[in-house]
């Protein structure tokens, strides 16, 4: 029984890996100390996400203070529900309507970056592509059959999911394209032909932002969501620094004290 349990435990991560489709997650190199990035992330969140999603464990005022945004500026420009700046960041959309309109209630995003991981959220936001079979005409690579529409179309434009078969060296992708999967091509006998099948997302370039600018904007948004999931993170790291410093100084004194105690005995 115990052996079975251990075997199951070792296999679990593999199963989880196999279950998630093999789409590569891009690394989100966010920087929590970058206030400008956090501010831009908050701005994008309030403008493009807060109509459907809340970050209900956060207050506007706390976000304003942490991110160095003036409370009045926050109140006038980023609070769209008409509530006081000290209020929790709820969405104006009733949960039942969300379920009715999108097939799923848009979840609260306060802890999303911890739940899914920053890389997942970063890749998700950049992985909407045209799929006419879906109610809103889009699908998502890391969240197949997602209920959320492509709300950032204005910024990014729309992307197509395309495939190309090629040899190792020669791969010519259109500008702004992002490789999402590469598989070795095998023939009917399962022998590798040396060719590679590359799937990529190709944006139509109709958005306000270029591919790089859009990635940058999404990084800011992820930065904000990572901050949201743990607003104390920066303080905690700083505190850790002081605590270790204190312990090191204490170590020096303890060492001297120890020497003092043993002096007459040796
Ligand atoms: C028009 C409404 C709407 C807007 C605007 C919207 N979303 Fe969503 N979002 C949804 C719905 C509905 C779901 C649930 C999808 C499902 O479960 O199929 C969702 C799901 C998500 C998820 C996945 C949650 C999970 O299951 O882990 C993330 C992350 C997310 N949204 C982020 C955002 C961000 C960031 C923005 C702003 C750029 C945004 N959303 C704007 C409706 C919206």
Query: Reading across the β-sheet that carries 159-167, which strands appear in turn?
Result: 159-167, 192-203, 178-186
Find, among 107, 104, 96, the residue nearest to 147 by Cα: 104
- pTM here is 0.84
Rounded (10°) CA dihedral 45, 46, 50, 51: -130
The answer, yes or no, to whether any atom of ligand 1 lies below 6 A from the CB of 220, is no
The answer, yes or no, to whether any atom of ligand 1 lies below 6 A from the CB of 121, is yes
- What does the pLDDT read at residue 10? 59
- CB neighbour class for 168 (10 Å; exposed up to 12, middle 13-18, buried from 19): exposed
Sequence-distant (6+) residues with CB within 8 A of 61 are 71, 74, 85, 86
Residue 82 DSSP SS3: coil
CA-to-CA separations, 227 to 35, 46, 67, 185, in angstroms, rounded: 11, 15, 10, 42
Ligand 1 centroid–CA 150 distance in Å is 9
- What does the pLDDT read at residue 16? 45
- What does the pLDDT read at residue 133? 95
Which residues does the chain have with pLDDT short of 70? 1-22, 266
Atom of ligand 1 lying closest to residue 98 CA: 12
Ligand 1 centroid–CA 228 distance in Å is 16
- What does the pLDDT read at residue 5? 61
List, for residues 136-156, the tens digit of each pLDDT value.
999 999 999 999 999 999 999
The answer, yes or no, to whether any atom of ligand 1 lies below 6 A from the CB of 147, is yes
Q: What is the CATH number of domain 27-156+209-251?
A: 1.10.760.10
What residues does CATH 1.10.760.10 cover in the chain? 27-156+209-251
Q: CA torsion sign, 143 to 144 to 148 to 154? A: positive
The answer, yes or no, to whether any atom of ligand 1 lies below 6 A from the CB of 146, is yes
**Pairwise CA distance, residues 155 & 182, whole Å:** 27
**Pairwise CA distance, residues 89 & 78, whole Å:** 11
Known binding residues are 49, 52-53
Find, among 38, 28, 30, the residue nearest to 58 by Cα: 38
List, for residues 214-246, the tens digit of each pLDDT value.
999 999 999 999 999 999 887 888 899 999 999
Q: How far is C-alpha 221 from the chain's CA centre?
A: 8
Find, among 189, 149, 118, the residue nearest to 53 by Cα: 149
Helix, strand, coil shares of the chain as percentages rounded to 5?
A: 45, 15, 40
């Amino acid at each position: 029984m115990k052996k079975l349990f251990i075997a199951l435990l070792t296999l679990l991560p593999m199963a989880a890996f196999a279950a998630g489709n093999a789409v590569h997650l891009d690394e989100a190199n966010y920087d929590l100390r970058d206030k400008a990035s956090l501010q831009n992330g908050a701005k994008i969140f309030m403008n493009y996400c807060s109509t459907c999603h809340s970050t209900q464990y956060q207050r506007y005022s706390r976000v304003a203070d942490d991110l160095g945004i003036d409370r009045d500026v926050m109140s006038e420009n980023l609070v769209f529900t008409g509530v006081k700046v000290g209020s929790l960041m709820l969405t104006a959309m009733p949960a039942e309507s969300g379920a009715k309109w999108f097939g799923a209630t848009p979840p609260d995003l306060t802890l999303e970056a911890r739940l899914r991981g920053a890389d997942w959220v970063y890749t998700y936001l950049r992985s909407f592509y045209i799929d006419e079979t879906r109610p809103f005409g889009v699908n998502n690579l890391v969240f197949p059959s997602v209920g959320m529409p492509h709300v950032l179309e204005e910024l990014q434009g729309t992307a197509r999911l395309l495939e190309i078969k090629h040899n190792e060296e020669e791969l010519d992708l259109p500008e702004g394209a992002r490789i999402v999967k590469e598989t070795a091509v095998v023939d009917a006998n399962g022998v590798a032909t040396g060719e590679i099948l590359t799937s990529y997302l190709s944006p139509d370039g109709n958005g306000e932002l270029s591919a790089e600018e859009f990635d940058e904007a999404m990084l800011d948004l992820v930065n904000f969501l990572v901050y949201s999931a743990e607003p104390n993170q920066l303080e905690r790291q700083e505190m850790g620094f002081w605590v270790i410093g204190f312990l090191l100084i204490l170590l020096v004194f303890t060492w001297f004290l120890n020497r003092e105690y043993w002096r007459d005995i040796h």
